[in-house]
Amino acid sequence: MISDTRRSMMLAAGALAAVPLASMAQVPAAGKDFRPVSPPQATEAPSGKIEVLEFFWYGCPHCNSLEPALKAWVAKLPDDVVFRRVHVPFGERRHQQLFYTLEAMGKADEVNDAVFRAIHVDRDRLDTPDKMVAMLSKHGIDGKQFRDTFESFAVRTKMRRASQVVDAYGVDGVPAMAVNGKYYTSPSMVGSAAGALRMLDQLIEIERRAKKG
């Protein structure tokens, strides 16, 4: 019987063989530039779409540094790719609660930049609901609605689910990324943030060709 890890590596190798070398700046090396996810994970992407996850923490300086390039990369994604963020439970646990509160309110994309700036530029740790409300109120977030959502069952459920996903992918540092439940990579594996984004492009292409195959 072929293990899930070996099967993913065989599929990746087969897809790579079909990609002209001239179109790839670097052929991804399993175990070095990425690792197969074992077992492969279900995604939340609609049928026919390729899901890309970013695992991050608001308080992570490397996540903060990556953010401008990541946003530019996400803005250019083709229609068959769906991007989703997963806030890890590492570091200041209330930052995870902050993110899923904002997501539940439909405000995460709108104020993510402001949250990163508050923590990394203004040196506001945002480690209490009062500090969060004080900062977010400057960006049009209703304090009462935020507090009610922050303590809600829905947010607690999102946090538990995110933590389960982090465990399932074996995330041990951030930022890190995953493609369609099958491939895991990170700037630390590839050697740079820019390299990690290029690796995502290549892993997306591997998965796209595997789907057609």
Q: Model's pTM, two decimal places? A: 0.88
Burial class of 114 by CB neighbour count within 10 A (0 to 12, 13 to 18, 19+): middle
Q: What confidence score (pLDDT) does residue 9 get? A: 52
At 64, list the tokens: 């903060």
Q: Which parts of the chain register pLDDT below 70?
A: 1-26
pLDDT tens track for 26-62: 679 999 999 999 999 999 999 999 999 999 999 999 9
Report the candidate in 175, 172, 168 with the shortest Cα–Cα distance to residue 197: 175
Residues in Cβ contact with 167 at an 8 Å cutoff, skipping those fewer than 6 apart:
none
Report whether the peptide linkage leading into residue 175 is cis, meaning its omega lies within 30 degrees of zero. yes
Outline where DSSP puts E strands in the chain.
35-36, 50-56, 81-87, 176-179, 183-185
Residue-range domains of the chain with CATH: 4-212 (3.40.30.10)
Neighbours of 26 (CB within 10 A): 12
Q: What confidence score (pLDDT) does residue 1 get? A: 42
